[in-house]
Amino acid sequence: MNYLAIVGTNSKVSTNRMLLQFMKEHFKDEAQLELFEIKDLPAFYEPEDNQVPQQVAELSAKILAADGVIIATPEYDHTITASLKSALEWISYTSQALTDKPVLIVGASHGALGSSRAQAHLRQILDSPELAARLMPSSEFLLGKSQAAFNATGDLIYPDKVTELDEIFREFTLFTDLITKLLSEKAVIRKGKKFAWQTQKA
């Protein structure tokens, strides 16, 4: 599997970035993860000339090429960051590249509860008609007290959280495979479907 892992913050220092970096190394034998930084994306605006900024076009192309997307979100004031919301607005307004794309949400925060409220909000956003991502049900990875969760080499030091992450990642690879097959079969059905007027005899 090839996954695009989106760092959901423009902060230079982030435990969500560290979480994705750990996942990239930890799961390297199972999947390829490419990290994408949204800190270089412009804030969303409606371009007068309908020209999509290069960074946005690059993000869309990477999403379309990936088997699935992993988004790591912190929690600011009970919701996702403004930079992540802006990035999603660009996708919604332009390519709609997340439509039917398998998505896994993970998150880290300095508090004990992890990014639970932000993840719930992000699910609502990704379920909107213009984004319409395929979210793995009954799944959330919440890393609380994240400032103390990694050692000097970037390894996640909470054994229970590593076990939990292993399980949810295996489920996501299976979910990705199932969604890919479902969409492939759906495309075949649509291609072979005939309308009533096409089957009526003269």
Report the SS3 class of residue 15: helix
Q: Is residue 57 scored above 60 in pLDDT?
A: yes
Q: Is residue 160 scored above 70 in pLDDT?
A: yes
Q: Please give the sequence-ordered ranges of beta strands (E in DSSP) within the chain, or none if there are none.
A: 2-7, 32-37, 68-72, 102-108, 134-135, 141-143
Range in 103-112, 131-140, 156-165, 186-195 with the lowest mean pLDDT: 186-195
**Mean pLDDT to the nearest integer, 12-28:** 97
Residue in 72, 99, 70 with CA at minimum distance from that of residue 3: 70
**Where does the pLDDT of residue 202 fall: very low under 50, low under 70, confident under 90, or very high at 90 and above?**
very low
Rounded distance, CA 114 to CA 154, Å? 18
Q: Is residue 139 scored above 70 in pLDDT?
A: yes
Question: How many residues would you count in the chain?
Answer: 202
Rounded distance, CA 198 to CA 160, Å? 59
The domain that holds 39 is classified in CATH as 3.40.50.360
Residue-range definition of the domain harbouring residue 56: 2-199
pLDDT of residue 111: 86
What predicted TM-score, i.e. pTM, was given to this entire model? 0.90
User: For 69-79, how does the pLDDT look when each residue is reduced to its tens digit (9 = 90+)?
Assistant: 999 999 999 99
What is the tally of structural domains in the chain?
Answer: 1
Question: What percent of the chain lies above the pLDDT cut of 70?
Answer: 92
Greater model confidence, 125 or 201: 125
